[in-house]
Amino acid sequence: MQSIESSQFYLPNLFASCPLRKGVIFPGDYKAIGAASKAWINAYDVFTERQRNIFDKTNSELLSARAFPYVSHEKFRTCCDCLNLLWMIDEISDDLNGPGARKTGDLFVNCLKDPNFDDNSPLADLTKDFRIRFVEKLGPRSAKRFMKHAQDYIDAFVLEAELRDKREILDLASYPTLRRNNSANHISFDFAEFGLEIDLPDELFEDATFMKVYYAASDMIWWSNDVYSFKMEHGKGHGGSNIVTILMHECGMDLQTASDYVGVEFRKLMDRYFEGRKNMRSWGAALDADLERYFDALGQWVVANMEWSFETQRYFGPAYEEVRKTRLVKL
């Protein structure tokens, strides 16, 4: 693996490559709604004290407000619950080895699939409550997709834990599949269908042009997240599951070159997103209108992830505003 000889690097200017509308936010009192959502999670007492402190400082309600500015007040609370549940699973899984991650993940999925499944644990109670709040309100097609995406997510974070146990780094060809799934982006896109009150036909997800837009949006989120979160993950010893590390390991890049490469790839993905939207065939007036709103929602996720990354201490500590100005990250 290419050693990290530099104590600092510059982030690529991804905002310059992003013509999507910025600065959009949910118009309601997202802080109060988010606080109620976090209280719902914390009431089940699934965190250690350290995990709860991290969770409470994520400013996840702002990410929800950036990602779902188009939803109703009621649905915004549910979207906050959805994201906070994912934050909880992500935070818990970071401390688990492979077998522990599989046990936790299987419990989560089993509670989603079967309302009668129960092991009397706080996580089971929380997940069953979430099923009522969200899963049972989805349309039949989006509900089926959500269950598949939830299983994909669990399988991916188990694989990540197993790789961490072995101190193994995936190759460049294998990593995107893992990252698309462990990022939970596809689950988040299911939230978008819920927020927009649509239930897209399965045929769309078999259409090559539709999936070109879908994967371009998903990939922009995890490529940008990997470079933004590199400092945090490197500090935690989890840098092996990061595209920056993989570029250094497989391609022999230094840290700055790998960061610059992320910027180049992000621009290609942004072009692919707009090209796919331009080339979508018509599916009829009603579905075309739903697709426009859905694609806008995917693009909103891309921007939300970028803006929120510089509005919280999660990745850059107290210097997050300065990092956004200078793009200089000190390890």
Residue 5: is its pLDDT beyond 80?
Answer: no
Model confidence at 2, in pLDDT bands (50, 70, 90)?
very low
| Residue 49 near residue 41 (C-beta atoms within 8 A) | no
pLDDT tens-digit series, residues 200-258: 999 999 999 999 999 999 999 999 999 999 999 888 877 788 999 999 999 999 999 99
Helices (H), the chain: 30-42, 49-56, 60-67, 73-93, 98-113, 122-133, 140-166, 175-182, 185-196, 208-236, 243-251, 255-279, 285-309, 320-326
Model confidence at 4, in pLDDT bands (50, 70, 90)?
low
Residue 307: is its pLDDT beyond 90?
Answer: yes
Question: What's the CA gap between 106 and 112, in Å, rounded?
Answer: 10
Provide mean pLDDT across the span 76-102. Answer: 92
Residue 296: is its pLDDT beyond 60?
Answer: yes
* pLDDT score for 95: 84
* pLDDT score for 1: 43
pLDDT tens-digit series, residues 29-40: 999 999 999 999
pLDDT tens-digit series, residues 175-205: 999 999 999 999 999 999 999 999 999 999 9
Model confidence at 273, in pLDDT bands (50, 70, 90)?
very high
* pLDDT score for 275: 98
* pLDDT score for 131: 94
User: Residue 56 to residues 31, 48, 61, 119, 265: CA-CA distances in angstroms?
Assistant: 12, 12, 10, 27, 33
